[in-house]
């Protein structure tokens, strides 16, 4: 019996030993597998960064740095592949190429290899063209307007355009000129359009079908270019200009309210340089005058967070009392509010940049300068004048009615109506159109921007 017990114990010991050896081996195998997996993931991550930072990003920057050459290449080599070959790297191997894709953009493909891991990524480099030095009175973007139901350009009731009109629309009945309207210039439309279908009635305009797609291409500027100016030091809650306070602001400042009363003139001293003023609410009961401008060196950046309102009188901002010449670039007014801008009688000389609020410029309003917006609604009405500049509203339906007038328009769509309503193009009106206000990241109108990244494997 003792021998049987000893035999059973030995057998149990052997079984337990084998189980422990099996578990130990499995654990070791699992650990080795995990180590190999972690190593593989590390290699793949290294390969990914080689493909992205060492390949695609370097190629993108090369294209951006020599945008003029690559824009020219777009026109003569559509669909062609630019092979950048092997890009030197101490970490591993990089192969990159760029191909021209539909829309005049570049799709960059880059493969990075580290040890035995390879990763391929793609970067879409968007062709960013802004035709600010306009050679025409109107650019209307086209077909997506109003879900395709409304005309892209409509003139009626005696409305008049002096200058060329450009649109990339080819949609049926998307251009309508009716009721005694007049176009003193040429009309350029999208490639491939049938003139018998896309226009309803033509009076005096000549018609040309555009041959170059890039000529009609206009990118919408991104709202991220709208500044914030958080760094301006807060100097006080309220600046109230009445008969008991100084009439001059001579330093940068951040205010809750700036309020002028009694038709007194608030003077802002630019000190022959740049002055930055941020205010939550601007309440005007008198004019704002800029002093010590110093030719082209002086500039006021007036950033309004919430509202601009008229208390009384007929206020103006940087507007010459004799309607004579003045410096448009001396004033840039940024409006970040959501309330409608600015259905009150006023005069302003300079550049206005509205983030996305609706714009209504009504009777008695005079604007001498450029109007730039990321919103979807702009109305110039009742004898209001937005002259000596450009209305740049590529996402908006722009309406000019009842005698409203301006110098040039970039819009999603345009509707003009009423006798005296006019657009009169002049190179003098648009020569000061500032690219930096539309997108301060770029020094010229034609360049490329990194649009989107994706992994091919």
pLDDT tens profile 194-226? 666 666 555 555 444 444 333 444 444 444 456
- Please count the structural domains in the chain: 2
Same domain membership, residue 197 and residue 100 = no
Mean per-residue pLDDT of the chain: 75
Instruction: Give the span between the Cα atoms of 329 and 369, in whole angstroms.
Output: 8
User: Quick one: which H or E segment has residue 359?
Assistant: strand 359-361
Task: Categorize the per-residue pLDDT at 333 as very low, low, confident or very high, splitting at 50, 70 and 90.
Answer: very high
- Whether residue 443 lies inside any domain: the answer is no
Position 2 confidence tier, pLDDT thresholds 50, 70, 90:
very low
Lowest mean pLDDT among 21-35, 116-130, 230-244, 405-419: 230-244
Kindly state whether residues 123 and 185 are assigned to the same domain.
no
Task: List the structure tokens of 103.
Answer: 């829309």
Q: What angle do CA 440, 441, 446 make, to 5 degrees?
A: 100
The answer as to whether 4 is a domain residue is: no
Angle at 42 between CA 39 and CA 48, to 5 degrees: 145
How far is the C-alpha of 411 from the C-alpha of 446, rounded, in Å?
A: 19
What's the Cα-to-Cα distance from 291 to each of 81, 265, 294, rounded to whole Å? 56, 12, 9
Q: Are residues 115 and 216 in the same domain?
A: no
Q: Can you give the residue range of the structural domain that contains 75?
A: 30-130+448-455
Say yes or no to pLDDT of 56 above 70. yes
Same domain, 260 and 291: yes
- Choose the most confident range, by mean pLDDT, from 166-175, 313-322, 408-417: 408-417
* Token output for 95: 């192969």
Model pTM score: 0.66
Q: What is the pLDDT of residue 398?
A: 93
pLDDT at 379: 92
Identify which of 220, 164, 175 has the alpha carbon closest to the alpha carbon of residue 197. 175
Residue 405 near residue 385, CB atoms below 8 Å: yes
Question: What pLDDT shows up at residue 129?
Answer: 56
State the average pLDDT over residues 291-301. 87
Is residue 47 in some structural domain? yes
Please indicate, yes or no, if residue 340 is contained in any of the structural domains.
yes
> Does residue 345 sit within a domain?
yes
Residues 390-405 pLDDT 10s? 888 888 999 998 877 7
9 within domain boundaries: no
Check whether residue 116 and residue 146 sit in a common domain: no
Q: Are residues 201 and 276 in the same domain?
A: yes
Looking at the structure, do residues 205 and 157 belong to the same domain, yes or no? yes
Q: Does 254 lie in the same domain as 161?
A: yes
Mean pLDDT of 28-35: 68
Mean pLDDT of 356-366: 86
Residue 428 pLDDT: 66
Query: What is the per-residue pLDDT for 297?
Result: 82
What is the C-alpha separation between 258 and 336, in angstroms, rounded? 16
pLDDT, tens digit, for every residue of 92-143? Answer: 788 888 877 766 678 888 898 888 888 898 888 877 655 455 667 778 877 5
pLDDT tens digits along 238-295: 666 666 677 889 988 888 898 887 778 889 999 999 898 999 999 988 889 999 998 7
Token pair 């009445």 in the structure block, residue: 242
**16 lies in a domain?**
no
* 179 and 51 part of one domain: no
Q: Please tell me whether residues 150 and 91 are part of one structural domain.
A: no
Pick the residue with more confidence: 98 or 325?
98
Give yes or no: residues 299 and 214 share one domain. Answer: yes
């Amino acid at each position: 019996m003792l021998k049987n017990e000893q035999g059973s114990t030995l057998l149990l010991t052997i079984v337990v030993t084998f189980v422990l050896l099996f578990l130990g081996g499995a654990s070791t195998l699992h650990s080795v597998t995990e180590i190999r997996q972690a190593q593989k993931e590390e290699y793949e991550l290294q390969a990914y960064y080689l493909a992205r930072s060492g390949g695609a990003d370097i190629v993108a920057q090369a294209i951006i740095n020599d945008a003029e050459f690559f824009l020219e290449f777009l026109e003569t080599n559509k669909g062609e592949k630019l092979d950048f070959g092997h890009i030197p790297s101490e970490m591993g191997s990089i192969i990159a190429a760029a191909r021209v894709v539909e829309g005049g953009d570049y799709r960059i493909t880059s493969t990075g290899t580290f040890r035995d891991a390879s990763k391929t990524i793609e970067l879409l480099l968007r062709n960013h063209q802004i035709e600010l030095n306009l050679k025409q009175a109107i650019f209307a973007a086209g077909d997506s307007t109003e879900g395709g139901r409304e005309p892209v350009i409509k003139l009626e009731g005696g409305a008049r355009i002096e200058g060329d009109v450009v649109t990339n629309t080819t949609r049926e009945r998307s251009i309508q000129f009716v009721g005694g309207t007049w176009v003193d210039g040429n009309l350029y439309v999208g490639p491939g359009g049938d003139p018998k279908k896309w226009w309803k009635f033509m009076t005096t305009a000549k018609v040309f079908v555009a041959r170059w797609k890039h000529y009609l291409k206009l990118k919408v500027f991104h709202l991220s270019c709208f500044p914030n100016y958080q760094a301006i030091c807060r100097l006080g809650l309220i600046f109230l200009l009445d008969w008991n306070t100084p009439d001059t602001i001579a330093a940068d400042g951040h205010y809750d309210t700036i309020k002028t009363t009694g038709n007194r003139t608030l003077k802002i001293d630019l000190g022959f340089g740049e002055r930055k003023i941020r205010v939550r609410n601007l309440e005007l009961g008198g004019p704002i005058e800029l002093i010590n401008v110093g030719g082209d060196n002086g500039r006021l950046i007036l950033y309004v967070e919430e509202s601009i309102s008229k208390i009384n009188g007929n206020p103006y901002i940087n507007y010459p009392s004799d309607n004579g010449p003045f410096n448009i670039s001396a004033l840039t007014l940024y409006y970040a509010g959501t309330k409608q801008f600015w259905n009150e009688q006023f005069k302003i000389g300079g550049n206005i940049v509205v983030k996305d609020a609706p714009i209504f410029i009504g009777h008695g309003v005079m604007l001498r300068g450029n109007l730039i917006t990321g919103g979807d609604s702009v109305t110039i009405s009742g004898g209001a004048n937005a002259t000596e500049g450009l209305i740049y509203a590529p996402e908006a339906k722009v309406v000019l009615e009842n005698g409203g007038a301006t110098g040039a328009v970039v819009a999603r769509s345009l509707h003009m109506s009423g006798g005296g309503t006019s657009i009169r193009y002049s190179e003098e009106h648009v020569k000061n159109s500032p690219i930096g206000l539309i997108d301060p990241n770029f020094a010229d109108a034609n360049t490329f921007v990194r649009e989107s990244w994706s992994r091919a494997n």
